[in-house]
A and B are shown apart, each in its own frame.
Chain A
Amino acid sequence: MTLELVIAIIVTVVGASTPILIAALGELVVEKSGVLNLGVEGMMLVGAITGFVVVFTTGNHYLAILLAAGAGVATSMIFGFLTLSLSANQTATGLALTIFGTGFSALAGQGYSARPVTLLGPLFPAELAAHPVWRVLFGYSALVYFSFVMVFAVWWFLKKTRSGLILRAVGENDHSAHSIGYSVVAVRYGAVAFGGAMAGIAGACFPLLLTPQWAERMTAGRGWIAVALVVFASWKPFRLLAGAYLFGLVMTMELYAKAGGGPLSAIPAELWAAMPYLATVVVLVLISIRRDASSNAPACLGRPFLPSN
C-alpha cells in the first residue's frame, strides 16, 4: 500500500463517518436527557432534501446547512409535541417519525432526482492541502471540522457546564429534577430540538459532502447506525467519535478491498456487510463485562415524564 492510497482511504473514511458522527452526537444529547428518539433516519432524510433543494435553488451551501438544521428541528418538534406534551410512547412515535420523514422527503423531492448540484468545497485554501499529507488535515469541507468541534462541544457541555448537569439530572432522575424546580419537559424539548438540528445537518451531508444529488431514501439506514452507535459508545462523546470512525472504516475498507484485490478481498461480501453489527455486539458484550460502564445508560431513558400531583 502506497502513501497516496492510505491517504485516499483516510479521506474516504472521513467522508463516510462524518454524517453518522453528527447524527449520533445529536441523539446522544437527546438520550442523555432521558428521551429515546428513533426518528433519526427520518429527520436525516428531511434534512437531506432540504439541503438539496436550497443548494439547487440558491447555490449557497452554508444556507443549505442552516436550513437543513432548521428542517430537522421542525421535524423533531413533531416528536417532541407527541412524546413530551402528550406523553405518547417514545419508541412508537420515533418509528413513526422515520416513516414520516421517508415519505415526506420522497414527496418533497419529486422532480429533483434528475438535477445535479455541486459539493461543498474544502474549508481551507487549496494550497494548504496541496501536499498529500496536508490533505489529510486540511482537505475537507466545513462539515467535517464541524463534526470534530461538536464532539468536543458536546463533551464540554455535558461534563463541564451547569446546563449540561441539569440535562443529565433530567435524564437520570426526572422526578428529582422536577422537585427541585427544573422544568423537565422544557429541558427535554431543548435536547430533542438539538438532536433534530444535528440529524438535519447529518442529512445535508449526503447531497453536500458525499454525492451531489437527491435520491429517495439516500441515507440508506445510516440513521439507524447512528442510534446504535450511541449505545455502542455508552453515551460518551469521545467513544462515539471512535465508534463512528470504526464504522466508517469498516464500510470503506469493504469497498477498497473488493476493488483492489489483495488478501482482504477474500472476505465474502456478506461478512463485510455484517461486520459493523458484529462489532456492535462485541463491544456491547465487553461493556457488560465491565459492570461500571453498563450502568451508564440514562436511568430515565425512554420513560415518559408524568409528574404526580
Chain B
Amino acid sequence: MTLNRRNLLKIGGAAAALPLLGSKAFAQTEPLKVGFVLVGTINDNGWNYAHNQGRLYLEEQLGDAVETVYVENVPEGPDCERVLRELAQQGCKLIFATSFGFGDSVIKVAEQFPDITFEHATGYMRADNVGTYNARFHEGRAVCGTIAGHMSKTGKAGYIGSFPIPEVVMGINSFVLAARKINPDFTITPVYISTWNDPAKEADAARAMIDQGIDIIAQHTDGPAALQVAEERGIVGGFGQGADMSAFAPQAQLTSIIDNWGPHYVKTAQAVLDGTWESKDSWPGLAEGEVMIGEYGPKVPEDVVAAAEAVKNGQIDGSFNIFTGPINDHTGAEKVAAGVTLTDAELLSMDWYVEGVIPPA
C-alpha cells in the first residue's frame, strides 16, 4: 500500500477505531505489521528502490502473515523520530530504518517502545530491541575486479567514489586486489567527487579518466552517469551499482552488483513471528543472496564469465576471501601476512589502500 505521511495519520486513526468493529475477525491470525522508513523515494533506481523491492519480496514470501507500510522522504533528524513513533503507535511490531543517519532516532524511540523490534541498516548502535544489518557489497566488487583484470587493455581503471569512507575504500581495495590476481600490473585511480548525487560531475569525472587512458570504470555513487559516458566513448566498460543499469549502457555494462534486501527482511520477520529474534549485527553477502551479480554483458567472453563465476562461487562456498593475505599497502609494504584474513572490525575501519591503488591527495 502506498503511504505518505498524511495518509499514515489517517490510517493510524482508522486503525485505532478498528477494535470497535468487533475483534473476532482479527483475533486468530493478526498479521505482523512491518514498517519501513526510507530516506528518499522508492523511484530512485538505487538505494531506496532496493529496500522497497525487499519489502515487496517480504509480502510475497510471507503472504498474509505480514502487512507492510512504508514512509518515503524521511529526513535524517527529529522528523525521523516522529515518523518512527507514529509507525509504532499504529501497530507496527517490526520497523526497518534504512539510512545511516536514522541511528540516533532509532535508539531513542526504541527505548520508549521496548516490545517493538527495530532494525537499522548500515548502523552500528544496538540495543535489546535494536539490531543492525548491512550487506557485503565488496564481495561483488571482487567479481567486477576479476572481469576488469581480464578485459582491460590498458591495465588502468578509474573508480568514482563519493567520500573516502571505509565502505568505499573497502570496495576499491576489493576491486583492485581481484584485478591484480589476473594482471599484476593493474592500477586503479580513485576520484572522489564529494557528493552522492551530482550526475553531471560523475559524467565529467568519467570523461576526465577516459581521456587519460583508463578503459574500465567502476563507481560507488548512485547513478548511471559514468556508465553512459563509457557507452558513448566505447571503452571496454563499467559496472552497474545497486541495480542492473544495462538500459543506460547495453554494451558497456559488463555486469552489475545488485542489492537484494529481501532475504534479510523475510528472515527477520520470520524470527519476530516465531519469537526467536535477538539483537545482533548481520552482515551477509553473496552467500546469503543479499548481494547478487547481475547478468554479464554481451562483451564479456565466456572464459571471463567462467573466471568471474569462480570468484563468485568461491565467496559463496567460503573457499575464497578477497581480503586474505598476503596483501601489501599502496607503498608496497606488507600489511596482511600470508594466510591471514582481515576481520570484520578491520574491514569496517579500513583507511588504507592496497597495492595498485594510486592514492588521492
Interface bits B191-209 vs A (CB < 8 Å: 1, else 0): 1111101111111110111
Known: A211-B225, A215-B197. A12 touches B207 (CB 8 A): yes
Tell me if A213 and B44 are in contact (CB < 8 A).
no
Tell me if B204 and A220 are in contact (CB < 8 A).
no
How many A-B residue pairs have C-beta atoms within 8 angstroms? Tell me: 117
The one of B199, B208, B224, B243 in contact with A218, judged by C-beta atoms closer than 8 angstroms, is: B199
Tell me if B361 and A268 are in contact (CB < 8 A).
yes
Q: Which residues of B contact A213 (CB under 8 A)?
A: 199, 223-225, 228, 248
The one of B43, B191, B197 in contact with A259, judged by C-beta atoms closer than 8 angstroms, is: B191
Rounded to whole angstroms, the CA-CA distance of A220 and B162 in the bound complex is 14
Tell me if A8 and B211 are in contact (CB < 8 A).
yes
Tell me if B205 and A259 are in contact (CB < 8 A).
yes
Tell me if B358 and A12 are in contact (CB < 8 A).
no
Q: Which residues between 194 and 238 of chain B lie within 8 Å of chain A, taking CB atoms?
A: 194-195, 197-205, 207-209, 211-212, 214, 223-225, 228-229, 232
- Contact of A258 with B by CB under 8 A: yes
The one of A5, A116, A218, A261 in contact with B228, judged by C-beta atoms closer than 8 angstroms, is: A116
Q: Which residues between 240 and 277 of chain A lie within 8 Å of chain B, taking CB atoms?
A: 251-252, 255-256, 258-261, 265-269, 273
Rounded to whole angstroms, the CA-CA distance of A268 and B202 in the bound complex is 18
Please name the residue on chain A nearest to B225 by beta carbon. A211
Please name the residue on chain B nearest to A1 by beta carbon. B212
- Contact of B41 with A by CB under 8 A: yes
Tell me if A259 and B209 are in contact (CB < 8 A).
yes
Please name the residue on chain A nearest to B191 by beta carbon. A258
Tell me if A15 and B204 are in contact (CB < 8 A).
yes
Rounded to whole angstroms, the CA-CA distance of A226 and B243 in the bound complex is 34
Q: Which residues between 3 and 31 of chain A lie within 8 Å of chain B, taking CB atoms?
A: 4-5, 8-9, 12, 15-16
Q: Which residues of A contact B90 (CB under 8 A)?
A: none
Known: A113-B43, A210-B203, A216-B197. A259 touches B212 (CB 8 A): yes
Tell me if A256 and B208 are in contact (CB < 8 A).
yes
Tell me if B225 and A217 are in contact (CB < 8 A).
no
The one of A115, A218, A259, A260 in contact with B200, judged by C-beta atoms closer than 8 angstroms, is: A218
- Contact of A45 with B by CB under 8 A: no
Q: Which residues of A contact B45 (CB under 8 A)?
A: 113-114
Rounded to whole angstroms, the CA-CA distance of A220 and B202 in the bound complex is 11
Known: A106-B41, A217-B197, A252-B204. A116 touches B247 (CB 8 A): yes
- Contact of A110 with B by CB under 8 A: yes
Known: A116-B247, A259-B208, A260-B208. A216 touches B228 (CB 8 A): no
Known: A211-B225, A258-B192, A265-B361. A16 touches B44 (CB 8 A): no
The one of B202, B229, B247, B360 in contact with A269, judged by C-beta atoms closer than 8 angstroms, is: B360
Please name the residue on chain B nearest to A253 by beta carbon. B208
- From A5, A211, A219, A265, residue with most partner B Cβ within 10 Å: A211
Rounded to whole angstroms, the CA-CA distance of A259 and B208 in the bound complex is 6
The one of B191, B199, B211, B358 in contact with A9, judged by C-beta atoms closer than 8 angstroms, is: B211
Rounded to whole angstroms, the CA-CA distance of A113 and B247 in the bound complex is 11
Tell me if B200 and A206 are in contact (CB < 8 A).
yes
How near does chain B come to A269, taking the closest CB pair, in angstroms?
Answer: 6
How near does chain A come to B151, taking the closest CB pair, in angstroms?
Answer: 20
Q: Which residues of A contact B192 (CB under 8 A)?
A: 258, 269
Rounded to whole angstroms, the CA-CA distance of A119 and B247 in the bound complex is 15
Q: Which residues of A contact B194 (CB under 8 A)?
A: 269, 273
Tell me if A215 and B209 are in contact (CB < 8 A).
no
- Contact of B140 with A by CB under 8 A: no
Tell me if B43 and A12 are in contact (CB < 8 A).
no
Chain A residues at the B interface, C-beta cutoff of 8 Å: 4-5, 8-9, 12, 15-16, 106, 110-111, 113-116, 119, 206, 210-213, 215-220, 222, 251-252, 255-256, 258-261, 265-269, 273
Chain B residues at the A interface, C-beta cutoff of 8 Å: 40-41, 43-45, 158, 189, 191-195, 197-205, 207-209, 211-212, 214, 223-225, 228-229, 232, 243, 247-248, 358, 360-361
Q: 14 pairs across A/B with beta carbons < 8 Å?
A: A12-B207, A12-B208, A12-B211, A106-B41, A110-B43, A116-B247, A211-B203, A217-B197, A222-B200, A259-B189, A259-B214, A265-B361, A266-B361, A269-B361
Given contacts A215-B225, A220-B199, could you give 5 more A-B pairs where the C-beta distance is less than 8 Å? A210-B203, A212-B228, A213-B248, A259-B214, A260-B208
